Structure 1
Amino acid sequence: MNCYQLPIVLKDMIKSLIFLTFLICSVVSQAQQPENSKKVIKVLIVDGFSNHDWQQTTKVTRHILGKAGLFEVFVSTAPPDIDDEQWAEWQPEFTDYDVVIQNTNNINRQEWRWPARVEKKLEDYVRNGGGLYILHSANNAFAHWEEYNRMIGLGWRKKEQGVALVIDEQQKVVQIAKGEGKNTFHGDRYDAVIQLLDRHPIHKGFPNAWKTPNMELYKYARGPAENLTVLSYSHDSVTRKSWPVEWIVNYGEGRVYNSSLGHLWKGEIYPDSYRCIGYQTVLIRAVEWLARENVTYKVPAGFPTRDTISLVDDSISTD
């Protein structure tokens, strides 16, 4: 090797070392990534009965979550009749999933309940670190179930069944005592401005207020309200009060998300309330947060503002 060849050899050696260093750093970086950021989030929707259109609600929810590319969604449907023999075999395995979405409601048929063994399994699942998403009318359900009331924090209840929460002009959460005020109710659906109260990871990158169409706002939602954080609220011109829209509850080691967003009534197919870019983003991010305690799903372009509603331009099969 002469003196003219040496610089070329050194350059090749340096290039090889740089490439090797980059390769090692890449492997180490991947190895250090949290395990839960690698895996698909497994979600179980539980449905089967409701005074709302639970079939269409499940279908549209699966559609929205499917678009995010983060989830694998399964469904467990309760037997079709109260006296059905299949109840003895209905045994959803909550612990097989990262998040459970509750989409049943027995408000008009109090005798239609989950078996006690299934209730206990859900309690244990959440208490031991599971994530539970209460989908709109699911907070109307199971007033008899004491631990369910604790898990959801607030629900559709009579005034004797718990406190209510209201947000005052200083954005402070104020309790309305058990027995005072009214039973839970709602007025006509309307285009509601959602005002953020707690800057939670679910809402990272959101404007402070955004508008969603055809919403059903619950007034005097009631319950134990233990370990509860109100995330957002909306003002009602009839009662002249601001009521919680979204809230989260810590239950043991687990997390629960609850809101009055996501109304879907009989005869509706993929309505504007579900086409809302704001609602779809909240749904996806809330489910991701319940599973991982962080959020990676980006705020999409065209997110609604305080003055404008934004709808996705897609379709869903009517089968």
Structure 2
Amino acid sequence: MYQIICLLRNFDKRSNWVYLIRLVFFLNLFLFLKSEIRAQSSDKIPVLIVDGFSNHDWQQTSAVTQWILEKSGLFKVDISTVPEDSLTMQSWQPVFDQYAVVIQNTNNIHNSTLRWPKDAERALEEYVARGGGLYILHSANNAFAHWEAYNEMIGLGWRPQTVGTALEIDPKGHIKQYPPGEGKGTGHGERFNALIQILNRHPINLGYPDAWQTVNTEVYYFPRGDAKNIEVLSYANDSTSTQQNWPVEWVVEYGKGRVYNSSLGHLWEGEVYPPAYRCAGYQTTVVRVTEWLATGKVDFPVPPDFPTAGSPSLRNPTMEWK
């Protein structure tokens, strides 16, 4: 731009055709570079994280998730925080259609009065039904028991014994169902290094080992819900409590849309970039899930430091995202 200004000044003084040609050249070059920058920016997949209330550290969860996604080079991530003030909350309405994926990071399990406005609920339902991607991040599957469509979208969640169907994986890798009233309500034991075992191959886990170790994670026992149009991708043994195998990751079809739900991604108050988020397997999965939700395919590679069945893999604790 500086060169163009200089040429304009000289052209006024000399009225030379050489200067005019140079001016046109640099102007075209400037416009080309500007369009390239815009194109590169628009090539990134737009993602929206919704947060604002949870019994977990939702601020840090959103910040680390944004950092994991953007450092992959594939995504441009925005965050929309549900307002605390009840009057302001009623006018809160993200434009979901501007995004390829919405990551749900709110949880009202301990305060059922905290809810999205009805218009926002309907907007999310319509967005997913029309083909949008929805990522249910860890404790977000504890949320919104009142919301019928949400229960269908998430497939399984944290629900009492009387509600929904619970799924267990038997020792032979078959899915066992517990109807409402049978088994227990959803819960979990202590956090531990869980062995994630692949049940169904899918673009998300293509190239993963059959089993891989993640760290300091929760395995939900008796996850319950509508369990409609669901495919369980992986499971783990709840070695600290029931000694049974329970789903860890699953995907759901809702209308034309895709939903991913998982108990991975625990981040509690007082933790700072904890090992569960430093896990190379978890970070890789976050990126691959989001790409699949947006496009229906996965090109992001499985990295060399991906964990194995015998060994976890933690990345540098440097807080690059802060």
TM-score, normalised by the number of residues in structure 2: 0.85
Question: How far 1:240 moved relative to its partner?
Answer: 2.3
Question: How far 1:294 moved relative to its partner?
Answer: 0.4
Question: How far 1:241 moved relative to its partner?
Answer: 1.1
Partner SS for 2:79: strand
Question: How far 1:88 moved relative to its partner?
Answer: 2.9
Aligned residue pair count? 281
Partner SS for 1:180: coil
Q: In structure 2, which of residues 149, 160, 163 is the aligned counterpart of residue 161 of structure 1?
A: 163
Contact 1:60 1:316 survives alignment (8 Å) = no
Change (3 A) 1:267 1:318: farther
TM-score, normalised by the number of residues in structure 1: 0.86
% identical aligned pairs? 58
Contact 1:134 1:259 survives alignment (8 Å) = yes
Q: Whole-Å Cα distance in 1 between the matches of residues 321 and 268 of structure 2?
A: 15
Q: In structure 2, which of residues 49, 71, 74 is the aligned counterpart of residue 67 of structure 1?
A: 71
Q: Whole-Å Cα distance in 2 between the matches of residues 69 and 124 of structure 1?
A: 29
Q: In structure 2, which of residues 228, 232, 235 is the aligned counterpart of residue 233 of structure 1?
A: 235
Contact 1:103 1:134 survives alignment (8 Å) = yes
Q: Whole-Å Cα distance in 1 between the matches of residues 276 and 260 of structure 2?
A: 18
Superposition RMSD in Å: 1.4
Question: How far 1:182 moved relative to its partner?
Answer: 0.6
Q: In structure 2, which of residues 282, 292, 301 is the aligned counterpart of residue 298 of structure 1?
A: 301
1:276 maps onto 2:279 in alignment: yes
1:88 maps onto 2:98 in alignment: no
Partner SS for 2:168: strand
Partner SS for 1:206: coil
Question: Any idea what the Cα deviations from partners look like across 1:229-276, whole Å, max 9, x if unmatched?
Answer: 000000123312100000000000000000000000001111000000
Could you say which residue in structure 2 is the equivalent of 1:309? 312
Partner SS for 1:213: coil
Question: How far 1:89 moved relative to its partner?
Answer: 2.3
Q: Whole-Å Cα distance in 1 between the matches of residues 52 and 309 of structure 2?
A: 36
Partner SS for 1:202: coil
Contact 1:269 1:318 survives alignment (8 Å) = no
What is the 5 A alignment of 1:1-319?
A: 39-81=43-85, 84-237=86-239, 238-316=241-319
Partner SS for 1:214: coil
Which amino acid letter does the alignment assign opposite residue 244 of structure 1? Answer: P
Q: Whole-Å Cα distance in 2 between the matches of residues 304 and 216 of structure 1?
A: 18
Which amino acid letter does the alignment assign opposite residue 228 of structure 2? Answer: E
Give unmatched runs, 5+ long, in structure 1.
1-37
Question: Any idea what the Cα deviations from partners look like across 1:133-174, whole Å, max 9, x if unmatched?
Answer: 000000000000000000000000001110100011111111
Q: Whole-Å Cα distance in 2 between the matches of residues 181 and 161 of structure 1?
A: 11
Give unmatched runs, 5+ long, in structure 2.
1-41
Contact 1:63 1:316 survives alignment (8 Å) = no
Which amino acid letter does the alignment assign opposite residue 274 of structure 2? Answer: P
Q: Whole-Å Cα distance in 2 between the matches of residues 214 and 114 of structure 1?
A: 31
Which amino acid letter does the alignment assign opposite residue 272 of structure 1? Answer: P
